[in-house]
Amino acid sequence: MRRLIDGCAAFAIAVAIWQGIVWFTGVPAFILPGPARVAQSLADNAGLILDHAGITILEVMVGLVIGALLGGATALHLVISPRARRVFLPVMVFSQAVPVFALAPILTLWLGYGIWSKIVMTILIIYFPVASTFFDGLNRTDRGLLDLGRTMNATPLQLLLQIRLPAALPSFASGLRLAAVYAPIGAVIGEWVGSSNGLGYLMLLANGRAKTDLMFASLFVLAFFTVLLYGAISIVAARVTAWATGESVPRE
Amino acid sequence: MNDAEQHNETGQGEWCATITLSGRFAHEHVTLFDDLTFTIAQGQWTCLLGPSGVGKTTLLRLIADLPTGGQFSGTITTSNACSLEGRIAYMAQSDLLAPWLSVRDNVLIGARLRDQTLDTQRANHLIEQVGLTEHVTKRPSELSGGMRQRVALARTLMEDRPIALLDEPFSALDARTRAEMQELTFELLRGHTVLLVTHDPGEAVRLGHTITVMTEAGLQEFIPPSAPPVRAHDNADAMQAQVELMNVLRSPEASCVA
């Protein structure tokens, strides 16, 4: 509750500063519309914005699920197989030197204007953060626990399932939180490059027609959705990995 | 009656044996010890006492077949010539509890790691023996340091192994909890072959049937007081022995590098 109040206060301050800038500079509305104008546009175009938001949300969610599964599976594979580590890890790191945004036109060329070029863009953006944080987590298992497993004659599979995997869940969760913030960026970039649907398309369209208020309204909806997604993932992650947050203070 | 005695009486194979390690150990061309022979007597508490960095833990890890990061050339043998594999339980300074598991699940972790059926009844019994029945569903973060180490003790007993290797398991506890833990551990591990690595002369004097001092100069036997362990803190012999042990640790021969 306290956090919600603080969040609303921060939002109110940001809106006040925004309104202040509009008043003091007297900037024309097609350059920077005031909050009231954007709210009005949001209300007037609610149906239109929601339609496009639906497409973007679909792309983000599908991309997030597939990207998280692929990233998680990659990390597990790298941990299990030393060979995969030798061959694949350098490739993975090198691939990050390629600016993913630059691939967007190619993806549109290959996969067309539909949602799949955006979903693949989303997957590409979140894949590496998920895979690398989870991989780090799996590698950072407490050495003492591994020693204990060894003296207990643990099977390698059980050691992975019972100790390394649960111990790495907090890292996986932080990878997913990052992914929640990055995924909408991937979808919107895909939409910018070529599409006839989605919030990215709508923003580009509104911008081109000097409907700056509509652009801001779309942007606001996108940001709102991203915050919701981040919040939802954080809450689920906190539930699952409550043991790692030190919620219950050790009693002496 | 505890498990060790049961095993001895029912005669289920060779329950315990005297363990002898001899050889040299080097870490990246730096010799940690050379031409050393160390014995852990069957069914007794052997306390290995020495300053930090002298190689006590390395000795323990060699016997436990844990990674040491160096090269050991020598032998580890048992008096009845049976393999040590699957006969060793390990307790460390840190409790090594999985923070995501409850007390009971931590006690049962060995069976889970070996893909065996879980003996929940026995786990509950051992948890009762260490006095944690009312905390059985709690997570480690909800317990005090002493309680956590008692869970680790129950987990060690659950493994039902003849040899227990204890690497300073009491050193992070406060004085009173430490004394209680020493007594409880000694009682519950009666009949086991125990190696206790420690840097506390008081602890060695309290618990050791045999006390071996490890310094840069090598190993040195120290004759413990005649009273059987666990020895009382205020026992005059024990207090005297503790002072002498401290002198051995600080003597010039001990500190000069061999």
Q: What is the mean pLDDT of chain A?
A: 90
Confidence label for A245 from pLDDT (cuts 50, 70 and 90):
low
Residue B153 has pLDDT above 90, yes or no: yes
C-alpha–C-alpha distance, residues A118 and A55, integer Å = 10
Residue B16 has pLDDT above 70, yes or no: no
Stretch among A122-136, B71-85, B210-224 having the lowest mean pLDDT: B71-85
Domain hosting residue B68, numbered range: 18-255
Cβ–Cβ < 8 Å for A45, A214? yes
Confidence label for B2 from pLDDT (cuts 50, 70 and 90):
very low
Q: Coil, helix or strand for B20? A: strand
Residue B258 has pLDDT above 70, yes or no: no
* Higher pLDDT, residue B73 or A184: A184
Q: Is residue B72 part of a domain?
A: yes
Q: Which of B123, B196, B121, B130 is nearest to B160 (CA)?
A: B123
Q: How many CB atoms lie within 10 A of CB A111?
A: 16
For residues A135-144, average pLDDT: 92
Residues contacting B213, CB < 8 A, separation 6+? B49, B50, B219, B220, B221, B222, B245, B248, B249, B254
For residues B179-192, average pLDDT: 91
Confidence label for B8 from pLDDT (cuts 50, 70 and 90):
very low
pLDDT 10s digits, B79-110: 877 788 888 999 998 999 999 999 999 999 99
Side-chain-side CA neighbours of B244 within 13 Å: the count stands at 13
Residue B176 has pLDDT above 80, yes or no: yes
Q: Is residue B61 part of a domain?
A: yes
Q: Checking DSSP bridges between strand B193-198 and strand B45-49, what pairing results, if any?
A: parallel
Q: Write the DSSP assignment of A153-168 as a string of letters.
A: T--HHHIIIIIIHHHH
Q: Coil, helix or strand for A63? A: helix
Interface of A with B in 71-100 (CB under 8 A): none
pLDDT 10s digits, A42-90: 999 999 999 999 999 999 999 999 999 999 999 999 999 989 999 988 8
* Distance between B236 CA and the closest CA of chain A, angstroms: 32
As for how many domains chain A has, the answer is 1
Residue A170 has pLDDT above 70, yes or no: yes
Q: Is residue A1 part of a domain?
A: no
pLDDT score recorded for residue B4: 44
**Residue B171 touches partner A, C-beta closer than 8 Å:** no
* Distance between A163 CA and the closest CA of chain B, angstroms: 8
What is the end-to-end Cα distance of chain B in Å, rounded? 46
Residue A250 has pLDDT above 90, yes or no: no
C-alpha–C-alpha distance, residues B13 and A99, integer Å = 66
C-alpha–C-alpha distance, residues B246 and A237, integer Å = 52
A151 to B64: CB separation less than 8 angstroms, yes or no: yes
* Distance between B237 CA and the closest CA of chain A, angstroms: 33
Q: Is residue A24 part of a domain?
A: no
As for how many domains chain B has, the answer is 1
Peptide bond into B230 cis (omega under 30): yes
Q: Is residue B12 part of a domain?
A: no
pLDDT 10s digits, B17-49: 788 888 888 888 888 888 888 999 888 999 999
Question: Residues of chain A with pLDDT > 90: what percent?
Answer: 75
Stretch among A70-74, A210-214, B6-10, B80-84 having the lowest mean pLDDT: B6-10
**How does B233-245 read in b/e, with b if 16+ C-beta sit within 10 Å?**
eeeeebbebbeeb
- Residue B149 is part of a domain; what is its CATH number? 3.40.50.300
Q: Is residue A71 part of a domain?
A: yes
**Residue B99 touches partner A, C-beta closer than 8 Å:** yes
* H or E element at residue A28: none
Q: For an interface test with A, give the residue of B84, B109, B161 to mutate (most A CBs within 10 A).
A: B109
pLDDT score recorded for residue B35: 84
**Residue A156 touches partner B, C-beta closer than 8 Å:** no
* Residues in chain B closer than 8 A to A148 (CB atoms): 90, 92, 96, 109
* Residues in chain A closer than 8 A to B65 (CB atoms): 150-151
**Residue A207 touches partner B, C-beta closer than 8 Å:** no
**Residue A154 touches partner B, C-beta closer than 8 Å:** yes
Confidence label for A252 from pLDDT (cuts 50, 70 and 90):
very low
In B50-147, DSSP assigns E strands to 71-78, 88-91
Q: Which residue is closest to B67 within chain A, CA to CA?
A: A147
**Residue A250 touches partner B, C-beta closer than 8 Å:** yes
pLDDT score recorded for residue B10: 36
- Residue A216 is part of a domain; what is its CATH number? 1.10.3720.10
Residue B128 has pLDDT above 50, yes or no: yes
Q: Give the orientation angle of helix A46-80 with respect to helix A82-95, to 10 degrees.
A: 140
Domain hosting residue A45, numbered range: 38-240
The amino acid that residue B250 corresponds to is R
* Distance between B94 CA and the closest CA of chain A, angstroms: 8
Interface of B with A in 101-120 (CB under 8 A): 109-110, 112-115
C-alpha–C-alpha distance, residues A56 and A45, integer Å = 17
* Higher pLDDT, residue A102 or B251: A102
**Residue B89 touches partner A, C-beta closer than 8 Å:** yes
Q: What is the mean pLDDT of chain B?
A: 86
Q: Is residue A188 part of a domain?
A: yes
B109 to A152: CB separation less than 8 angstroms, yes or no: yes
Query: Which residue in B67, B114, B141 is closest to A158 by CB distance?
Result: B114
Residue A248 has pLDDT above 70, yes or no: no
Confidence label for B253 from pLDDT (cuts 50, 70 and 90):
low
Stretch among A2-6, A175-179, A245-249, B108-112 having the lowest mean pLDDT: A245-249
Q: Is residue A43 part of a domain?
A: yes
* Residues in chain A closer than 8 A to B69 (CB atoms): none
pLDDT 10s digits, A171-205: 999 999 999 999 999 999 999 988 889 999 999 99
Question: Residues of chain B with pLDDT > 90: what percent?
Answer: 47
* Distance between A165 CA and the closest CA of chain B, angstroms: 11
What is the end-to-end Cα distance of chain A in Å, rounded? 30
* Distance between B85 CA and the closest CA of chain A, angstroms: 8
pLDDT score recorded for residue B225: 87
Q: For an interface test with B, give the residue of A172, A243, A251 to mutate (most B CBs within 10 A).
A: A243
